[in-house]
Structure 1
Amino acid sequence: MNVAIISVSKKGYELSLSIKEKLDSDSTIIKTDLYHKNVKKYLPYLFEEYDAIIAIMASGILIRSIAPVIESKASDPAVLNIDDNGKFVISTLSGHLGGANKLTQKISRLIDATPVITTSTDVNRKLGIDVLAKDLYLSIDDSKEILFFNKSILEDKEISLVINPDKNYNYLFEYLSNNTLEINISINFSSKVNPGEIHATLDDHRMILREREIVAGLGCRRGKECEKIYEALKSSADELGIYLSRINKLASAEIKKDENGMLELSDKLNIPISFVEIEKLRLFESQDIQKSEFVKSKFGIYGVCEPSALIMAGFDSQLIYKKTSYDGVTVAIAVSK
């Protein structure tokens, strides 16, 4: 998640510095940029360029400033509102699909503030269909149906989730089993459903949830054991809040194609691994990747795990977990658009 923090007062700016310092050490936050004053000038740009906006200012200023640029719950960034004293963190826009509710909880813990969340499913301890999609990195084919399904969930109506019997959906079962929010669902199987899709149905309403491609990029010291690479990947997935069975592909540089630890991990998890050509890595450009002069001096490229993940996740993919090191193993995770 790329986060912009915008403030208007001196006290608000000092709070934004404190929040940035804390977020910079969070592997799920790719970058955090600060903006100060000129709210009406900056906000249209921030809406286009960032996944989340944290606005430290009076709610009236924020609401008047974002009103002209709001488009859709499917595309608007998460917007949080914090008072200058850091007492309250308010999830203001895109609570579910944009991730504002979860980010509100995170920021509240970081600054010891009170989170304010008003979405109906959350306050009634229900699992919204859009929350399920967001948590599992599923795209929604028709966001207009979200209201119908969430209203039905609030009324405790049974939603049918239809999946392909030949596809591994362990991540879905684990997620539903471990979730503390309530949802009344049945799981049904049909070969008519494409692998990687989940069809939610009720009465004459249907919503198709499609897996976005999740790729875990890996790097390691020569001869690293499978178990060590597994532990690093598992730690990263846990921090990100995904299950290993949700990862579609592993990736690394072609210089690692004979690393037994990676090959064994691919077999162990039954997840295919791809090795990206050095020339592709050398030519790849992204503002989000971390450049390593050490890797450049050894292999002629600035990185392995981040660019490998982004390349294999496809055009316009984005990092959701930046390069993190675990005793000789590096992990980065990207998702397709």
Structure 2
Amino acid sequence: MNQTGVNAIELTEGTVPEIRQTGRYAIVAITRHGVEMARSLAKQFPDADLYYMSKFARGDEEQQGIQLFTGSVRLLFPALFPVYEGLILFISLGAVVRMIAPVLKDKKTDPGVVVIDDKGRHAISVLSGHLGGANELTREVAALLGAQPVITTASDVQKTIPVDLFGRRFGWTWDPISEKKLTPVSASVVNEEHVAIVQESGEKDWWMHDTPMPPSLKIYDSIEEALAAGPDAALVITHRQLRPEEIPILDNGVLYRPKVIILGIGCNRGTSAEEIENVIRETLDHLGFSMQSVKAVGTIDLKKDEEGLLAVCSKHGWEFVYYTPEELNEMNIEEPSDTVYKFTGAYGVSEPACKRYSGQEKLVLTKRKSGNVTISVGVLA
């Protein structure tokens, strides 16, 4: 409670204020006009928390979940930056640049920052336009406010591939071995140099713009063909590990891992997460596949609470699905087992679970048993 009798966060030097974070985004305003727009925006943006100066209190803030503050707004940012995905600021651009400078860390972790002028005419993407989602957030906020979105990221302006976000909407990730090439490859793309694209798996509808792909981006059927063309940079989309003779494509290339590998797994009760993960890793290494491209693990519903399986899926962020014996028995399988049927009611677990999820009649690996684990592997078309 401050001197005005209003509950407010008191911002003081040397301390990080305590805030109530409930949404993914924070809206902050420090002027009368800004507060008007911020309150209106917050009603249309249910996943956002609203903050503004206590001198503009209306009396309904507690009921509306609005957080008031006193003191310099600069002191609020150390609390906001670590917990929100995006900040929507009704503050002048120059002031924002000066205030957020001390709390900037890394483009992979900093939130997206969007600034709106005091008349609501422009919404400006300021920080983490791509990885932090500020460009997308800017467009959304501008549409709600009737403002003009201002985005200066080269790939957005030129309507080309944003290398650091390529395939992100499908769940693709880049392989760590090529992370350091994100910046130089991005430069090659926006400078319209010869960039080779090789796609062996994953979603095909990745071109997002309403204009044709620029001629500097060329699609090749194989890494071998792309290397022969001598490109300045490359984008490679595949679930498999590259062969030694293919590695040079990554001299100035980024390797993307689409989520296309489906694992069917059966295991004895109480099998450890370590054993399950080791079998998965050994199997995929033998096939020449990347662990990063695993999308889901399927099994029988008797294993829906199997701690080892749940732990491995949770660790890697894999989808975990399970089926009834009747659902598994609907699948055509190559290696039915009367023993498995005796104990589970299904003629198989790993093979039919993998086939049912992947929709593939023919698997890459029908079945492999190792210790307490049985594994099948399929790849989405």
TM (normalized to structure 2)?
Answer: 0.49
Aligned with residue 18 of structure 1, among 40, 46, 65: 40
- Which residue does 1:36 correspond to in 2? 52
1:104-123 CA-to-partner distances (Å, cap 9, x unmatched) read 11111111101111112222
Q: Which amino acid in the other structure matches residue 314 of structure 2?
A: G
What is the correspondence of 1:83-122 to structure 2 with a 5 Å cutoff? 83-122=117-156
Q: Which deviations, in whole Å up to 9, do the C-alpha atoms of 1:234-285 show, x marking residues without a partner?
A: xxxxxxxxxxxx994599xx9xx7xxxxxxxxxxxxxxxx9965x99xxxxx
SS at match of 2:189: helix
Distance 2:159 2:126 in 1: 19
Deviation for aligned residue 1:61 = 1.8
Higher CA-based Rg: 2
Q: Give the match for residue 92 of structure 2.
A: 58
Q: Distance in 2 between matches of 1:19 and 1:200?
A: 49
Match of residue 328 from structure 2:
none
Q: 1:193 to 1:16 in 2, by over 3 A?
A: closer
Structure 2 CA distance for partners of 1:63 and 1:109, relative to 1, 3 Å: same
- Is the CA contact (8 Å cut-off) linking 1:159 and 1:200 kept in structure 2? no
One-letter identity of the residue aligned with 1:2? R
1:155 to 191, 214, 217: 191
On the 8 A contact 2:259/2:294 being kept in 1, the answer is no
Moved over 6 A (4+): 190-194, 196-201, 310-313
For CA contacts below 8 A with separation 6 or more, give which structure has more relative contact order. Answer: 1
Please state whether the residue corresponding to 1:36 is helix, strand or coil. strand
Instruction: Verify the 8 A CA contact 2:124 2:138 in the aligned structure 1.
Output: yes
More displaced stretch, 175-184 vs 104-113: 175-184
Write out aligned runs for 1:267-282 (5 A): none
- 2:201 aligned with 1:185, yes or no? no
1:7 aligns with 2:10: no
Q: List alignment gaps of at least 5 residues for structure 2.
A: 1-22, 54-71, 225-235, 261-292, 318-381
CA displacement at 1:157 relative to structure 2: 2.7
Aligned residues of 1:197 and 1:208 also touching (Cα < 8 A): no
Q: Is 1:75 matched with 2:75?
A: no
CA contact (8 A) 2:29 2:38 kept: yes
Change (3 A) 1:182 1:77: farther
Counting aligned pairs with the same residue, the percent is 26
**How many correspondences in the alignment?**
227
Cα displacement (A) at 1:49: 0.5
What's the TM-score, normalizing by structure 1?
Answer: 0.55
CA RMSD, 1 decimal: 4.2
State the shift of 1:201 in Å.
Answer: 7.8
Counterpart CA distance in 2 for 1:21 and 1:111 is 12
The Cα shift of 1:78 comes to: 0.7
SS at match of 1:175: coil
Conserved 8 A contact 1:137-1:212: yes
In structure 2, the residue matched to 1:195 is 239
AA in 2 matched with 1:174: D
- What do the CA deviations read for 1:71-117 (whole angstroms, capped 9, x no partner)? 22222211100112211100001111111111111111111101111
Q: 1: distance between equivalents of 2:33 and 2:154?
A: 33
How far apart in 2 are the matches of 1:46 and 1:316? 28
Q: Which residue of the partner structure matches residue 207 of structure 1? A: 254
Match for residue 69 of structure 2? Answer: none
Alpha-carbon displacement from aligned partner over 1:124-145 (angstroms, at most 9, x marks no partner): 2222212324433333335542
Shift of 1:45: 2.0
